[in-house]
Amino acid sequence: MVYCSNCGEQISDDAYFCPKCGTKTAKGTEANVKTSSEELRDAFYKVGIELERAFTIAAKETHAAFQRARADMQQKPAEQHEPMTCPNCGTKNAFGSIFCNNCGKRLSPLEESHGA
């Protein structure tokens, strides 16, 4: 017979827990028996770690996504989408226009370098 360390109840030698108060006996500790509350706590702990990891990854990804979005906005040069002003008549033509829609002059600078 052993005695419960908590309540002093007499417990049989092969008992893992005190039948009176539920305290784990030395044998129970030795056998590494888990009480239901300990198992629950362990389960929650593991789930907590997984959740924390998932949240950390999600937070990092969200942060990275925001940074990428911000970098994209900063990298987009405004002049790429600015209207193309005709050097001949000054008419603003839509971005990507090759010829002025007012006077028909070629807007591409390549035309000038070729000298044609």
- Tell whether residue 21 is a contact of Zn ion (CB under 5 A): yes
Nearer to Zn ion, 10 or 67 (CB): 10
Q: CA–CA separation, 78 vs 65, rounded Å?
A: 22
Q: How far is the CB of 45 from Zn ion (least distance, A)?
A: 26
Residue 105 and residue 89 in contact, taking contact as beta carbons nearer than 8 Å = yes
Separation in Å, CA 15 to CA 20, 32, 35, 40, 66: 12, 13, 13, 21, 58
- Tell whether residue 23 is a contact of Zn ion (CB under 5 A): yes
Q: Site for Zn ion (CB under 5 A): which residue of 51, 71, 98, 103?
A: 103
| Concatenated DSSP letters of 34-64 | --HHHHHHHHHHHHHHHHHHHHHHHHHHHHH
Q: Site for Zn ion (CB under 5 A): which residue of 16, 27, 33, 91?
A: 91
- Tell whether residue 89 is a contact of Zn ion (CB under 5 A): yes
Q: Which tokens is 28 given?
A: 């129970």
- Tell whether residue 88 is a contact of Zn ion (CB under 5 A): yes
- Tell whether residue 7 is a contact of Zn ion (CB under 5 A): yes
- Binding residues vs Zn ion (CB under 5 A): 4, 6-7, 9, 18, 20-21, 23, 86, 88-89, 91, 100, 102-103, 105
